Every structure is written in C-alpha cells, then in structure tokens.
Structure 1
Amino acid sequence: MLKKLLSRAKISKLGLTAPKALPGRAGLAIVAIVKNEARYIGEWARLHHAAGARHFYIYDDASQDDTLAELRAALPPEALTVIPWAQRLSDIRLGREIHNQVLAYAHAAGNFGGAHRWMAFIDVDEFLIPTGGDSFDVALAPLGDIPNVSLPWHMFGTSGHATPPAGGVLRNYLMRARDPMGDAPGLRAFKMLVDPCRLSALRIHSMETEGTQDTWNDAGHKSSFAERDKPGFYSTAAVQLNHYYTRSQADLDAKINRGPNLVAKTDEYRRKVLRTVGSIEADLIEDTLARDCAARLLG
C-alpha cells in the first residue's frame, strides 16, 4: 500500500552543489523547457533579449514543429544554447517519476550558472517585464548582492479571443486577474530569479539559496517561503512577471488536451486548469505594461 501511494508522488525537489562563479560573470540568463511552441516562442525570445537577457538555455522536449527554427531566427547564435531533453526518468525502486522540468533547471544551473549573476527559470507563456528601467541590468542593479527574488504571477486570461489573434501575445492579451496575491484557487504563485552560484535546492516555484528558505521581493525586502504569500510582500519595483495562462480559448482547449508534464497528474489536470481560469476571469483589470514595454523595445 505504501509503495502504491509513493508511486503517485513525483520527485519534484532536487539538491544541488552550486557552481563556482566564473570571472566576469554578469547579467541574466533564462532557462526554459519547451515543446511545440513555434507560434509563440519568437516573440517571447525577442522581448527578453531586447530587455537584456544575456543567454537562453532551451531544453527541447522533442518538439515536432518549428520551435527551434523560430528561436534561431529570433536570437543571435551566441545567445542561444539548445539541449535535447526528451527523457523520462523515475526512481525504479518505487516507480516515482522525476520531474523533467526540475531536472532541466538543475542541469542548467549546475552546468552553466557560473557565467551569470542571475538565472530565471520560466515557461514560454511567462514574460519578465522590467519595471525599474528598460533593461534587466538596470532594473535589478538596486537589489545588490541578494541571492534570490520571488516574483508573483500576474495571471492573464483569454481577453475575449476565441482563436489566436494576429500580432502576438503582448499586444492582444491585456486583461488579467486584479489581485496577484488573492486567495482564489490557482492565482497566487511565484517564479524565482536566483544567483545560481548560491543555489542549493530546486523546485519549480521555490528555489533555496545557501541552504535556507529565505527569499526577497524585487524591492529588496526579505521574507520566507512561508510568509511571501502575504499581501505586504507584493512588489513590482524591478520586474513584473506576466503569466499568459490561457492565451486564446483555442489555446486553452489545446492546453487541456495536452495534459500535464507528469503522467500521474492527468486525471486532476483538467479540473485544476478550469478552476484557475474561473479565478482569473472572475475579477479582471486591464494591464498594458507588457504591451507598452514591447512597443518601446521592439517597435
């Protein structure tokens, strides 16, 4: 019975021996695992590169469309590293699936992190929008030597689009959930920027540095994972993290049909997604920050 229960639990947290800092390390690198994102990945890469991301480590989960071609058209060769990442691993003793995304993040931090001051671990439906200046270097400079930053999701819905509109994500999806720190199901979550040379443990939404669960917001205020959910932690002083959770209704339907990254979660995935969509759409405001940033940086 215990073995059966354990087999349903994923291995989603990994420890890491942090890499040594290389001479002259600087800037922000972005790590993402992708599969069949050709429609959207070009805009995502161009915006982040224009905002000063130094390098992109892309873990390709056997894409069968033009994802990699779009990336190579959007980025200079020296800014892009692509790693094939189609394996599925498990603990053979208990049959526990090892989270493939966490594996990718650990590989990136351990092998490439020494070259960078910051690493961001995000998805292609998530955009980092600098708010403290039009580049990540300028926006993050006031944070000094802190080891990590927790960024709250700003959750965007369909903005009334039944199918993907022309012109990309940032121009067309302007309606988001009003309160990023609200209690509605699925809304309140974080992604993190970390100093990879002080990274000690990884999960998707919580990365430990120097063996602690201390974290900072992007205004430099210290908290803990247990306390960062409180409204007073909220800040967009340096960077706003936009999560385009649904994009169009057609994209949402495709997302549900694809199912989760972890096979064990398939049955509950549809219910979870629809519950989150309901939370987003229940109380909306217009947010043009990303659209305006893209207009300045990309024209």
Structure 2
Amino acid sequence: MRSIATSIQSLNWRLILSATVCFMVFYLLVTDDHSRSQTPNPITPPEEAPQEQPATQKSPSVLGEYDGRVDDPYRINEPNPVLGVDYDSPLDAIPDRTRPGGEPAEVGDQKPDEETSSSSQPEVQPPDTQPSTPAIASETEDENYVAICMAVKNQRKDLPEFLIHHYHHLGIRNFYIMDDASDPPLSEIPDAELGVPRETITFEMQDESTRGTSHSQQLDIYMRCIENYGANHTWMAFLDADEFLQMTGNQTLTDMLSELEQDKSIGSLGVNWRMHTSSGLLTRPESARKGFIDCIWDDLKGQGANSFNRHVKSIVRVSHAVRPANPHLWVLKDGSRTVGEHGDTIDSEAYRTPITRDRIALHHYAGKSREEYEEKMQRGNAMDDPKGEEFWKAVEKDLPHMRCTEMTEYYP
C-alpha cells in the first residue's frame, strides 16, 4: 500500500496536466474541422417567378361609378380625361342651362402605346397630327355658302351636340333636318334644347305615304334637299347625325371649298371617315365628342383596304349635282369629278384610299355606347339597312383600336 502511495507521489503531475490540456485542445480542433466538412453550405432559395393566372371567363368589371366603362382587352385602358357629370358638355351652349360641375379637366397630348395587344394583329397606328388650335369659322364668311342636309329619325338627344359643333366650329348657318317620321316630330324640340338659333334650321317632315322602299328613302331625301333648297347654296354636305366634320389644317371649311371651287371640274369633295368605337362605355355619355376617344385603325400598310375609314361622305357642289348614287357619293354632271382633300380623283363607289385627313376629317360615331347602339338597331335607318351585332363585333373586337382625343378640344 505504501509502495503505491510512494509511486503516485513520484509522478510528475505538472507534466501530466500539460499533456492532458494539449490533448483536449487537439481533440476540439479535430472535431470542429470534421463537423464543418459534414455541414452543407446554406443555399438561398431562388426567387419564384410570378405565375400566370389561368384565363377565366368573367363579366366585365365596371371601372367607374357613373361612366360605365368596362375592363375590355380590346381597348386602351386609360382614363377618359373629360367624361362625366362633373365636367363641361357641348350642351352648355344651350341658353340658361345649369352646368353640372366645375371647370373641365385639361386634355393633354395623348401618346399611343408602342406595343400592340397581339403580334398577330396589324400594328396599331399613332394618331394623326392635329393642329394645336382647331380651325374656327370666321364670322365674316358667307352664311349661305355651305349648308348641311341630313336624314334623321328619333334622334332628339343627338341633335343638339351635332348642331352646336357645326354652328360654332364649321360656320354652318343652314341646317336642313329631313325628319323621317320621328315621333314626336323633331320640329317640336324647344328652342332651349336646340342650342343654336332656330332660324338656322329648316325642319321638313317626310310623307310616309310616299316613303321609298329598300335603299331609296335616304337617297330620295337627299334629292329633295337639292331640289328644294340647293339653289340657296354653293355647296351642300350630306351627313348623318352621328357624323361630325373637323377642319384638321389651318383653313376654315369655306376657305377650303372656295379653293376647290377654282377648279371647274370639281363637283364634290369626298371626306374620309374617322370611325370611333364605344370606348368601353355601356351607357350614353353627356357628350359624344368627349366620351368616345378611341378609333379604329386606318390600315396604312394595306393602303386602307381593311379599314372602314376608307368610306367617304360628300360635300357636293350644287350646280354640278345630278343625283345621289348612294349615301356616300353623287352622280355628277359630265366632266365633273369627286375629289379628296388633295385634289385626287375618287373613282370608286364609296371609298378613298390611301386614307388621309390632313385638311379635313369626318368623325363617325357609328356605334356609340352599347345602350345607344341597341337603340340604333331598334330604330333602323332611312336605308332600311339597320346595323346588327356583326357590325358591333367588327368595330369593337375585330379591328385594332387607337387613341383619338382631338374632338375633346372643342368647346362648345
């Protein structure tokens, strides 16, 4: 027992302690190295790409409380700059009319989207260049130089804006409203509703007993305009209540027609359409000019062949007129011709291509809102050829659209 104790006492405890500490440090280093080699580096998960939502069929969502615009993939979803009850209307020109709101919103220059909605569709073209200030008719112009004749049926709500626009901005002082059996007669519209002096309007109710059949009624009406009133004027424009003339250059309408009159061979001016869409509106806006701010394309690559805008309407030189060939063009006296705005001869039955509007345009609000289009289908027209759903689909869905806000610049 004593020998064991003696042996223990003889041990070098300092050396043993040092060796133990060194061994533990070595062990810890080796263990830590091994642990690191077994633990994988942390991997940051990649950002998930946004997943495309499957297309679903749903009813269009209403975007506004009062304007009735809908989310439609076929139109440019930009806010209408001036539409609504809180803004000015051309109807404000009516005497003693109470305005519904404050000053109108400013309408800035609109730029078209650079990309089309589908690569399979033809390119969406930029709007035509418009003058910064619309050409306004001079008060000194001959009031009888040019007149407008129109066949109208049950369009009491449409007439005031048409009359106001052409009276104030085209200088028209003679309107011949050929009433195609409206009920009540359009002549019963109160003066305060018309928006222009009543003495500038001649109402003529058409006799239903002598009403033409098929496609002849509108042509008969146009012929009666020339026979009954043509002698009072040098030029007469034959338009519908949804067609608005615009001088796109620096001339007034009288200036332009006076220039054309110098060429004795010119018997008629054919003006290209600029057809507006519904702009997604479901109900009638307060103003067509301020509400419908999208148009169909001109098909410039195809020289206008695939666009309704190739159609023209005529401003006829009365002394050269024989009879209307159709609602678009007139048969003229021998040696006379119908020309476009650049003096180019129009030889087709109703079309002018390529489409240009450098000097004058005819804005055609063909469908307007869905509410108004349904009224139009019920009403029919003087050609006994009412538009149907196929026309609506072509204008609203099939043809590319482009922004066209130039008519919003006019007030009243």
Give the alignment's TM-score, normalised by structure 1.
0.77
Give the aligned partner of residue 158 of structure 1. Answer: 278
Which residue number corresponds to residue 163 of structure 2? 45
> Residues 248 and 134 from structure 1, CA distance in 2 versus in 1: closer, same or farther, beyond 3 angstroms?
farther
1:121 partner SS: strand
Cα pair 1:213 1:225 within 8 Å, conserved:
no
Question: Match of 2:155, as an amino acid?
Answer: E
Q: Does residue 301 of structure 2 align to residue 193 of structure 1?
A: no
Query: What do the CA deviations read for 1:17-69 (whole angstroms, capped 9, x no partner)?
Result: xxxxxxx8952100011111121110100110112113001111222257435
Counterpart check, 1:54 vs 2:170:
no
Structure 1 residue 187 displacement after superposition: 4.6
The one-letter code of the counterpart of 1:59 is M
Is the CA contact 1:41–1:70 (under 8 Å) kept in the aligned structure 2? no
Quick one: which of 186, 191, 196 aligns to 1:75? 196
- Who is 1:31 aligned against? 149
Secondary structure of 2:158's aligned partner: helix
TM-aligned CA distance change 1:285 to 1:75, over 3 Å:
same
Query: How many angstroms apart in 2 are the aligned matches of 1:45 and 1:134?
Result: 20
CA contact (8 A) 2:143 2:171 kept: no
In structure 1, what residue type is equivalent to 2:289? L
Distance 1:71 1:272 in 2: 37
Q: Which runs of 5+ in 2 are unaligned?
A: 1-141
Measure the CA separation in 2 of the matches of 1:176 and 1:221. Answer: 25
Q: SS in structure 1 opposite 2:280?
A: coil
Q: How does 1:180-259 map to 2 (within 5 A)?
A: 182-184=304-306, 186-202=308-324, 203-211=326-334, 214-225=337-348, 229-231=352-354, 234-259=355-380
Post-superposition offset of 1:134:
6.7
Give the letter aligned to residue 239 of structure 1. I
Matches within 5 A, 1:68-107: 68-70=187-189, 72=191, 73-87=194-208, 89=210, 97=214, 99-107=216-224
SS in 2 for 1:147: strand
**Partners in 2 of 1:262 and 1:228 — Cα distance?**
18
Change (3 A) 1:132 1:88: farther
Deviations along 1:94-142, whole A, 9 cap, x unmatched? xx64611111110111121112121000000000112234732134333
- When residues 25 and 196 of structure 1 are mapped into structure 2, their CA distance, relative to the original with a 3 A threshold, is farther
* Residues 266-294 of structure 1: per-residue CA shift (max 9 Å, x gap): 6xx52553354246x621111122221x2
Percent identical: 24
Q: Which whole-Å deviations, capped at 9, do the CAs of 1:240-266 have from their partners, x for residues lacking one? A: 101000110111122223334455x56
Return the alpha-carbon distance in structure 2 between the equivalents of residues 285 and 88 of structure 1: 45
SS where residue 39 of structure 1 aligns?
A: coil
Distance 1:88 1:278 in 2: 38
Q: 1:142 aligns with which of 259, 270, 287?
A: 259
5 Å-filtered alignment, 1:167-182, equals 168-179=287-298, 182=304
Aligned residue type for 1:162: L
SS for the counterpart of 1:222 is coil
Corresponding residue for residue 16 of structure 1: none
Structure with larger RCO (C-alpha < 8 A, sep 6+) = 1
**2:230 equivalent in structure 1:** 113
Residue 154 of structure 2 aligns to which amino acid in structure 1? N
CA offsets, 1:149-175, max 9 Å, x none?
111111111011110123x11111111
Instruction: Give the distance between the partners of 2:233 and 2:285, measured in 1 at CA.
Output: 36
Change (3 A) 1:206 1:106: same
Structure with a larger share of its residues in strand: 1
Matching of residue 131 in structure 1 with residue 253 in structure 2: no
C-alpha contact (below 8 Å) 1:25/1:117 kept by paired residues:
no
Equivalent position amino acid for 2:268 in 1: N
Q: For 1:53-89, what per-residue CA distance to the aligned partner results, in whole angstroms no more than 9, with x for missing partners?
A: 1300111122225743548432223311111114254
Answer whether contact 1:132 1:139 (CA < 8 A) is retained. Answer: no
Deviation at 1:226, TM superposition (A): 5.9
Q: Distance in 1 between matches of 2:274 and 2:178?
A: 24
Does structure 2 retain, via aligned residues, the 8 Å contact 1:216–1:222?
yes
User: Post-superposition, which runs of at least 4 consecutive aligned residues in structure 1 deviate over 6 A?
Assistant: none
**Aligned counterpart in structure 1 of residue 407 of structure 2, from 290, 295, 298:** 290
Task: Find the aligned partners of 2:195 and 2:185 in 1 and give their Cα distance.
Answer: 12
Match of 2:388 in 1: 270
Aligned mates of 2:337, 2:277 — CA distance in 1? 31
Counterpart contact for 2:251–2:359, Cα < 8 Å: no
Pair 155,84 (structure 1): closer, same or farther in 2 beyond 3 Å: same
